[in-house]
């Protein structure tokens, strides 16, 4: 009996120990799940913070997040984490270099500002405080200093435009304020930065689509940029572009508000007229029923009179009274008929207004469709733009997931495009982009899709393509461009393209396919160009 009690006690202690271990195990699992959720949240925030700085880093982070969503063993992510760690290190080094270059540019700009005369006293005081301020720590601090520097340069440009106040000091005599030094005779100017800003600005203008005076002004600014501008005018032109974008957006908003206001007024008028007509119709219906009942009652009264009166004299007198009442009722009926005719006229007018509103709405719907089409169209090449690509790629990707039909993604780059701009000018570069885009679009199937990805790059989607022969249509695109007889300044110029392409594979996300196609394009560019490389 004592042995049984001892065993029972040991079993109880063992059960308590097992329960304690189970609680500890549950805590470990809960901790693991919590850490996994925190990891996914951290990667999502890291993706948001790093987005747009490096395409390969964006793709790797998106791929890692996708794997984490699948709840894999953490040990299987070591390789991905090592690659991302390396990319982050490279990005950090590049960021440090960028901060260093920005700091140098700020120092150079500050030296040039010291040579400027003609600032108002309050501006000179602000400039003195700016030049004496300590260096920033991060890229955000440097960006703020660059923006402040541009504000001073904007004021300097305005001073330069005044004939009585030259921008740069021509005398070696110092200013009254002793901390503003004389100008350096050969202050260096970064031609590459100037050219890069001008090039990016004119490319930005090609992405805009404003009508009227704003569109004409932007086109004129782009012509100035293509022909070349002096450094002092670049900042002023940047401000002009910003002002024109704001003005164009404001005009589009006004047009939308005017349309909505007109539509609202028309709807209010129609609603009021409809309500009045409805009330009038109900009143007429009620009055008509009352008149009909009254006439029926008078007719019944006449029948009763005919049956109850024996003499003609009494009968005539009784019927005469009923006939007078019926005559009044008929007059009321005639008045109601006039009201009905007026109501029909009002309804006809309202129908005409509704028909006109329908036509106007159809016209605005057509214009909205055209505007939406323009929204997804590259204004220079007239093929789809980046926004349209994002939308179509997502659609084709979902179709591929659902039906499993082959889907090819190809990235196309015009070889040595910079040489065309440098040797023949940006107008020639624009012409080449237009011709290449049109030729590529004409060589594709109706079901295929092409978009300008940026600069001289295009992206092509080939849905439902033969997976064993998808290189053939890409070779056709390459040969089509190579055979075009380009001529610039009476000189024949051969333009070629390099293509990197891939098929979507099981487990792929869009970023995976993009990454492979981009690497294939890189191989094409570094293997002689003018070729198709598959991944």
DSSP code, position 173: S
pLDDT at 486 over 70: yes
Angstrom distances, CA of residue 289 to CA of 295, 300, 301, 324, 336? 10, 16, 18, 20, 11
Would you place residue 401 in the very low, low, confident or very high pLDDT band (cuts 50, 70, 90)? very high
Q: Return the number of other C-beta atoms located less than 10 Å from residue 533's C-beta.
A: 21
Would you place residue 355 in the very low, low, confident or very high pLDDT band (cuts 50, 70, 90)? confident
Q: Do residues 528 and 75 make contact, with C-beta atoms less than 8 angstroms apart?
A: no
Which value, in Å, is the radius of gyration of the alpha carbons in the chain?
40
Would you place residue 171 in the very low, low, confident or very high pLDDT band (cuts 50, 70, 90)? very low
Token pair belonging to 321: 């009274």
pTM score, whole prediction: 0.45
Mean pLDDT score of the chain: 74
Bridge partners (DSSP) of residue 452 are: 458
- Terminal CA-to-CA distance of the chain, rounded, Å? 78
User: Which of 30-34, 258-262, 418-422 is most confident?
Assistant: 418-422
Distance CA 402, CA 455 (A): 33
pLDDT, one tens digit per residue, over 413-453 is 999 998 888 888 878 888 899 999 999 999 999 999 999 98
Closest C-alpha among 159, 156, 144, 150 to residue 242:
150
CA dihedral 269, 275, 281, 282 (to 10 degrees): -170
pLDDT at 4 over 70: no
pLDDT of residue 49: 64
DSSP code, position 62: H
Would you place residue 232 in the very low, low, confident or very high pLDDT band (cuts 50, 70, 90)? confident
Closest C-alpha among 255, 279, 278, 275 to residue 267:
275
Q: Return the number of other C-beta atoms located less than 10 Å from residue 145's C-beta.
A: 20
Distance CA 219, CA 225 (A): 10
pLDDT of residue 288: 72
pLDDT at 393 over 90: yes
pLDDT of residue 457: 93
Would you place residue 80 in the very low, low, confident or very high pLDDT band (cuts 50, 70, 90)? confident
Orientation of helix 191-207 relative to helix 426-443, angle to 10°: 40
Residue located via tokens 């004021």: 155
Distance CA 198, CA 381 (A): 20
pLDDT, one tens digit per residue, over 367-377 is 777 766 777 88
Distance CA 69, CA 413 (A): 34
Q: Do residues 499 and 524 make contact, with C-beta atoms less than 8 angstroms apart?
A: yes
Bridge partners (DSSP) of residue 384 are: 377, 451
Would you place residue 409 in the very low, low, confident or very high pLDDT band (cuts 50, 70, 90)? very high
Q: Do residues 62 and 84 make contact, with C-beta atoms less than 8 angstroms apart?
A: no
Q: Judging by beta carbons within 10 Å of its beta carbon (0-12, 13-18, 19+), is residue 149 exposed, middle or buried?
A: buried
DSSP code, position 456: T
pLDDT, one tens digit per residue, over 521-535 is 999 998 889 999 998
Distance CA 489, CA 504 (A): 43
Report the top-level CATH class of 386-534: alpha beta
Alpha-helical segments (H) within 51-138: 55-69, 78-114, 121-132
DSSP code, position 490: T
Q: Do residues 497 and 414 make contact, with C-beta atoms less than 8 angstroms apart?
A: yes
pLDDT at 163 over 60: no
Residue located via tokens 């094409």: 524
pLDDT, one tens digit per residue, over 185-230 is 444 456 767 777 877 787 777 767 677 787 888 888 888 887 778 8
Across 60-84, average pLDDT:
70
Task: Determine how β-strand 497-503 pairs with β-strand 532-534.
Answer: parallel
Per DSSP, the residues of 90-107 read HHHHHHHHHHHHHHHHHH
Residue located via tokens 């990891």: 39
Orientation of helix 312-375 relative to helix 231-308, angle to 10°: 160
pLDDT at 132 over 50: yes
Q: Do residues 237 and 165 make contact, with C-beta atoms less than 8 angstroms apart?
A: no
């Amino acid at each position: 009996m004592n042995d049984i009690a001892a065993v029972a006690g040991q079993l109880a202690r063992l059960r308590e120990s097992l329960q304690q271990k189970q609680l500890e195990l549950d805590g470990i699992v809960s901790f693991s799940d919590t850490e996994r959720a925190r990891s996914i949240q951290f990667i999502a925030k890291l993706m948001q913070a790093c987005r747009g700085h490096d395409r390969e880093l964006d793709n790797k982070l998106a791929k890692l997040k996708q794997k984490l969503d699948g709840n894999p063993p953490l040990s299987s992510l070591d390789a991905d984490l090592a690659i991302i760690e390396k990319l982050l290190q490279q990005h950090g080094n590049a960021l440090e270099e960028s901060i260093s270059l920005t700091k140098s540019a700020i120092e150079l700009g500050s030296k040039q500002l010291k040579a400027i005369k003609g600032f108002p006293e309050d501006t000179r005081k602000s400039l003195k405080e700016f030049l004496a301020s300590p260096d920033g720590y991060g890229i955000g601090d440097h960006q703020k200093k660059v923006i402040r520097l541009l504000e001073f340069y904007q004021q300097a440009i305005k001073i330069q435009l005044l004939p009585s106040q030259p921008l740069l000091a021509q005398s070696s005599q110092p200013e009254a304020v002793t901390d503003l030094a004389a100008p350096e005779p050969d202050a260096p100017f970064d031609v590459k930065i100037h050219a890069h800003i001008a090039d990016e600005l004119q490319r930005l203008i090609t992405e805009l689509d404003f009508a009227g005076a704003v569109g004409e002004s932007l086109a004129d600014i782009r012509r100035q940029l293509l022909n070349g501008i002096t450094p002092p005018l670049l900042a002023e032109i940047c401000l002009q572009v910003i002002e024109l974008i704001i003005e164009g957006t404001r005009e589009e908003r006004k047009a939308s508000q005017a349309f909505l206001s007109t539509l609202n007024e028309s709807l209010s008028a129609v609603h009021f007229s409809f309500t009045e007509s409805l009330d009038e119709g109900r009143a007429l219906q009620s009055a008509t029923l009352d008149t009909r009942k009254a006439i029926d009652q008078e007719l019944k009264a006449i029948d009763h009179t005919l049956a109850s009166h024996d003499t003609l004299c009494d009968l005539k007198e009784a019927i005469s009274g009923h006939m007078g009442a019926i005559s009044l009722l008929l007059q009321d009926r005639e008045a109601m008929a006039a009201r009905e005719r007026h109501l029909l006229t009002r309804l006809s007018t309202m129908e005409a207004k509704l028909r006109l509103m329908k036509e106007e709405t159809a016209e605005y719907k057509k214009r909205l469709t055209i505007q939406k089409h323009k929204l997804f169209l590259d204004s220079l090449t007239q093929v789809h733009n980046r926004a349209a690509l994002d939308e179509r790629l997502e659609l084709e990707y979902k179709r591929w997931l659902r039906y499993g039909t082959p889907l090819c993604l190809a990235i196309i780059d015009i070889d040595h495009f910079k040489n065309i701009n440098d040797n023949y000018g940006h107008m020639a570069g624009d012409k080449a982009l237009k011709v290449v885009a049109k030729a590529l679009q004409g060589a594709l199937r109706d079901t295929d899709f092409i978009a300008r990805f940026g600069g001289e790059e295009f992206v092509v989607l080939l849905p439902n393509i033969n997976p064993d022969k998808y290189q053939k249509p890409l070779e056709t695109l390459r040969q089509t461009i190579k055979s075009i007889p380009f001529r610039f300044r009476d000189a024949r110029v051969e333009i070629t393209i390099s293509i990197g392409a891939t098929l979507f594979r099981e487990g792929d996300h869009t970023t995976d396919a993009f990454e492979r196609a981009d690497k294939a394009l890189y191989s094409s560019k570094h293997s002689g160009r003018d070729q198709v490389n598959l991944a």
